[in-house]
Amino acid sequence: MPCERKPMRYGHSEGHTEVCFDDSGRFLVTCGNDGDVRIWEGLDDDDPKFITVGEKAYSLALKNGKLVTASSNNTVQIHTFPDGDPDGILTRFTTNATHVAFNSSGSRVAAGSSDFMVKVVEVSDSSQQKTLRGHEAPVLSVTLDPKDDFLASASCDGSVAVWNIEEQSQLIRWPLLQKTNDVSNAKSLCRLAWQPAGALAVPVETKVHLYARGSWDLASTLSDDLQTQLINVVAWSPCGRFLAAGGVGGSLTVWDVTSELCVERQKHEKGFTVCGLAWSPSGSQLAYTDTEGCLGLLDGLGSSSSTSSSSTSTKPARKAAEDYDDLFDDDDDGRLMDEGLSDGNNSPVKKPVAGDDEDDDDCLMPATGRPRNRGAVLDDELSLGERGSLFCSAVTPAAPPPGPLRPVYEGPLPTPPQKAFQPGSTPAHLTHRFMMWNSVGIVRGYNDDQDNAVDVEFHDTAVHHAMHLTNSLGHTMADLSQEAVTGSYLMVLRTRAAIQEAGSVHQGGAKVLQVGHERSLTINTPGFDGDQALGVQLLRLGPRKRQLIRGEALPLSHRSHLTWLGFTAEGTPCYADSEGAVRMLNRSLGNTWTPVCNTGETCKSRSDHYWVVGVHENPQQLRCIPCKGSRYPPTLPRPAVAILPFKLPMCQTSTEKGLMEEQFLRSVLFENHFGFLSASGYEVDEEAQTRSQKEQQELLMKMFALSCKLEREFRCVELAELMTHNAVTLAIRYASRSRRMGLAQRLSEVALEKANRLQQQQEEEEEESEEEPDNRPEQVEQVPEPGEEEEEEEQAEEMEQDEEPETRKRQFHRGLVFVPPQVSSSASFSPSAAAPPRGTNILDNMASGRKASPLAGSAGKANKGPVLKPLPPRPRSKTQSTLLQMTSSKKKTQGITQKQPEAPPPAPPPAPPADSGENERPKTGFQLWLEENRKSICADHPELEETEVIKEAMGRFRTLSAEERLVRAPLPPPPPPRAPERSLKGLMRRLHLLKVFQLIRPTEQISRWVNKGGGGCNDAPPPFIHTIPNRH
């Protein structure tokens, strides 16, 4: 459509509302039921000036800086414009005035009233009044002749009358309307309008009659086939060529009077009745108001009228009789259509106004979809025009002109393609918005009068402190990630131009995938019947570039759009749509999308939504922000993140079996990422993996037991096939114990089969591993970030005292491969000399070369979840010593380091209380020795279990001489990285203990105890501490 329908905005409270332009066209002036006159400087004016004129304002007129209003106190008042000062009362009625109108020069005002009278008053001298009596019911509307001789009025008595003002006499009277008793009951307001050139327009039901001035003959009738409801109000464009009409049900129609063609057809966006219409003085804009107090604007009418005028000007004047139209109907239609195509303008139906039968048929035919012999172009255009208005609210702006000669199509319509967006950000038109909310932090954008700025905040302040940046360049997109090699942050800001792209390309911030996966999303293909067809691509970057998903369709819920797309923290693609369905890529099932959660189910009401900000697979969390009654969260008050559990859509989740099945499948699905990660050469949290595998097996066993109880043997066998070998053995035992020998038999077959398969697989794997040893390069690429390293070191401290040989080996290997950034910058380090940056001095001095291993190993260790096999549990003595340790940890640890060499601990498992402080645990001489010598012990006694290895080692260590032991001086504790967090934990404990003491002890004693130094080391701790249960 050439004219643009601006979005409606709230103007006044509900009720009759009128609008007009000021003489310059700069201001829109409205009056409404709240008694205010508002002066809008354009439709976007957020803070319009207002003048209160009464309790209600029924009508207004504006000319020459005089604002005339009909208000509820039965007067017609004048205010100056734009100042809004009262300028006297023009006239009074016995009841309220219903309509006021200026003449063309602005010297006179006509006013109609509910007391059946019409008055014409000189603006300059309100004593000069003419009263026109004769209506037998409230006057609906009045209009003054451009030459000031006549006045036309419409009344609730059903008549439209023309008066001679000077003689105060009625000239002619047409009974055109339905009779009612009051304006409020009138079906149509019947606002009359006098053309600047002369004709009087009278809205009569669904048509507009034009009467010639002077002869008062019906000159012509303007109608529109799609106009099914009454016309309420008409208005002439300033040039007098176009007539706009607004009606009940929100129709807005513009006719070109010379050709009697409808040149514009729009519909009120909500279908409210239009009760006020005004052309801007330039004729390019048409303002309208509805009975709900809203104000709207059609812009760009001038251009549409000029094109249509050029296309119609060639035609003969069509004021002739209707039968004449009939004759030429076909030709004209055809020509019009061609013209319409040539200038790409297909908005209104360019169709003769006179409703001829033939043409009506044309309109009906396409609807039935019957092929017609009369040129497909014509039909198509007609049908399109019709559709364009019928589905106005849905497709009008987007519907592209279909190619010519396309067969008639009356099926479902294309869904408008979704606009480009960035996941995790709220729409750009908001003044305060989230530019990005992800697992790393929040970027807020402010764009209002005072401030145009960007606030960056990190969830974890340890990553980076919050920032406030001015946004002078007008950035509209932002992203946050933790991945930068500097360990701080990387911010990608793009300007508006980037948004114009069809899709938004977004750098993946998945931390685990350090080399980076980048995804690209293209949204192009329109779908049908409310479903979009989106394509998705998954690209893998890094050393081996690959396109994993090639533009496949992204399944969305019916009539929904994409709201979030991204990676889980573990690197699995995942997306959410507007219906609340969250789907995740199931790599094990040929890259299909599995629905994992429906946020819509957890919403309390229909208008509530969850705004997804992140997905985590381990632990299974869907992080989103609940939004009450909206799709996006407001920036203030700051929304809180909620965590939703995942739930696969399964049948019968109310039963125990269904529940367990759901749990099992979910567990399997969320375990997928482990496989993916290890396949792409990243470290995997093996602890979590074994945990989830164990959980799966447990679930399987439970289900097995359940179906055993229910005597479903086939199900039992099926379940057993899913189990691991060990679990099957258990299942067989269970079956035989519950006296199901047949089942046990069958299960043992299954077990056998499984064992065979396992063997085969192993063989295959071996072959494969020989074939491709090319997994390495990726690992080399992986550069540990300092940030991560800190974490690792922290974990290294927390690490149990002994490590399994094989892990150590791997770490050692990695320690060689890894080149920490600090080191790599200073040129020529051989891998073996690549020492980690921290706390290595003593170690290096003490044992050069190979000795880098323990620490390098621990520093290069896996980020999360150090691989620790179950060791003989070392009870953490967390009674008094823990407390004491925490209070004076620094001093203590020094003491320990001095003490230890002389007295190596007799046995590692029950660690001596002195070094059991959780925070800084220095390695004992024995440990160091053990690490160095473990291999040899293992080699000597390959059959030994872990605990036995340690025992053996202990025995050997004891045989060493004291000097030898001294060489194994323990390291000084590495400087506590992340000191705040560590001390925080201790602090929390202390605080908590204090709370507990306070509960059971008189306060005084405690404060004394605290003042002494919080249970200083020498002081005897309160005796009851021993009774505190150990939590580990």
- Residues in contact with other proteins by CB under 8 A are 439, 441, 458-462, 621, 623, 636-638, 640-643, 980-981, 984-985, 987-989, 991-993, 995-996, 998, 1028-1029, 1031-1032
* C-beta of residue 1012 within 8 angstroms of C-beta of residue 1019: yes
* Min CB(999)–other proteins separation in Å: 9
Which residues neighbour 68 within 8 Å (Cβ) at sequence distance 6 or greater? 60, 61, 62, 76, 77, 78, 90, 100, 102, 109, 123
Q: How far is the CB of 459 from other proteins (least distance, A)?
A: 3
Closest separation in Å from C-beta 1028 to other proteins: 6
Specify the residue, 58 or 437, whose C-beta has the smaller distance to other proteins: 437
**Closest distance to other proteins from the beta carbon of 648 (Å):** 23
Q: Kindly state the smallest distance separating residue 990's Cβ from other proteins, in Å.
A: 10
How near is the Cβ of 726 to other proteins at its closest, in Å? 29
Residue 678 CB coordination number (10 Å): 14
Residue closer to other proteins, measured from CB, 619 or 895: 619
- Measured from the CB atom, the residue of 466 and 485 that comes closer to other proteins is 466
Q: Is the peptide bond before 619 cis (omega within 30 degrees of 0)?
A: yes
Cβ density class 4-13: b for 16+ within 10 Å, e for less: ebbebeebbe
Measure the CA–CA gap between 929 and 374, rounded to whole angstroms: 98
CB of 54 to other proteins, least distance (A): 34
Nearer to other proteins, 352 or 441 (CB): 441
Eight-class DSSP state of 65: T
**Helices in 960-1026 by DSSP H: which ranges?**
962-967, 979-1000, 1003-1011
Q: What is the CA radius of gyration of the chain?
A: 42
Q: What is the dihedral of CA 994, 999, 1002, 1008, to 10 degrees?
A: 0
* Cβ-based nearer residue to other proteins, 61 or 442: 442
- On whether the CB atoms of residues 585 and 632 are closer than 8 A, the answer is no
Contact criterion met (CB below 8 Å) for 897 and 972: yes
The alpha-helical segments, DSSP class H, found in 680-724 are: 686-709, 713-722
Nearer to other proteins, 9 or 459 (CB): 459
Taking the complex as a whole, how short is the minimal distance between the CB of residue 1032 and other proteins, in angstroms? 7
How are the residues of the chain apportioned to helix, strand and coil, as percentages rounded to the nearest 5?
30, 25, 45
Q: CB of residue 978 vs other proteins: minimum separation in angstroms? A: 9
Measuring CA to CA, how many Å separate 676 from each of 81, 419, 519, 588, 875? 72, 32, 17, 9, 36
Min separation Cβ 642 and other proteins, Å: 8
The smaller minimum CB distance to other proteins, of residues 44 and 460, is found at: 460
| Alpha-carbon dihedral sign for residues 212, 217, 219, 224 | positive
Q: Give min distance, CB of 927 to other proteins, in A.
A: 23
Parallel, antiparallel, or unpaired for β 286-290 and 4-5? unpaired
Q: Nearest to residue 547, comparing CAs of 514, 518, 577?
A: 518
d(CA 919, CA 883) in angstroms, rounded, equals 11
Least distance from C-beta 637 to other proteins, angstroms? 4
Nearest to 596 by CA among 566, 578, 575: 575
Considering the complex, state which of residue 327 and residue 984 has its C-beta at the smaller distance from other proteins: 984
Closest CB to other proteins among residues 966, 984:
984
Cα separations in angstroms, 488 against 297, 440, 471, 785:
50, 11, 21, 10
In the complex, minimum distance from the CB of residue 641 to other proteins, in angstroms, rounded to a whole number: 6
Report how far apart, in Å, the C-alpha atoms of 799 and of each of 119, 430, 717, 861, 918 are.
97, 49, 42, 11, 10
CB of 161 to other proteins, least distance (A): 56
Structure tokens at 374: 């009369």
Which is closer to other proteins, CB of 500 or CB of 1003? 1003
Distance of CA 726 to the CA centre of its chain: 46
Residue 950 CA to chain centroid, in angstroms?
Answer: 56
Q: Please state the closest distance from residue 511 (CB atom) to other proteins, in A.
A: 13
Sign (positive or negative) of CA dihedral 790, 794, 797, 802:
negative
Q: Which is nearer to other proteins, 558 or 1031 (CB)?
A: 1031
CA 662/CA 648 separation, integer angstroms: 6
The DSSP code for 551 is: E
Alpha helices by DSSP H, listed for 516-560, are none
How large is the angle between the packed helices 322-342 and 357-368, nearest 10 degrees?
50
- Report the C-alpha gap between 708 and 623 in whole angstroms: 39
Find the shortest distance in angstroms from Cβ 988 to other proteins: 6
How many Å apart are CA 903 and CA 905, to the nearest integer? 6
**Cβ nearer to other proteins, comparing 346 with 599:** 599
Write the burial class of residue 803 (CB in 10 Å: 0-12 exposed, 13-18 middle, 19+ buried). Answer: buried
**Count of C-beta atoms within a 10 Å radius of residue 828:** 5
Residue 631's identity, in one-letter code, is R
Of 518, 511, 455, 517, nearest in space to 484 by CA: 511
Indicate the residue among 112 and 986 with the shorter CB distance to other proteins: 986
- By beta-carbon proximity to other proteins, the closer residue of 758 and 988 is 988
Judged by CB, which is closer to other proteins: 544, or 628? 628
Q: Which is nearer to other proteins, 487 or 527 (CB)?
A: 487
Shorter beta-carbon distance to other proteins: residue 492 or 1028:
1028
Q: What is the dihedral of CA 82, 86, 92, 94, to 10 degrees?
A: 100
| Inter-residue contact 1021 to 884 (CB < 8 Å) | yes
Q: How far is the CB of 426 from other proteins (least distance, A)?
A: 17
Q: How far is the CB of 564 from other proteins (least distance, A)?
A: 16
For other proteins, give the closer residue by CB, 289 or 426: 426
User: Per this entry, what is the length of the chain?
Assistant: 1032
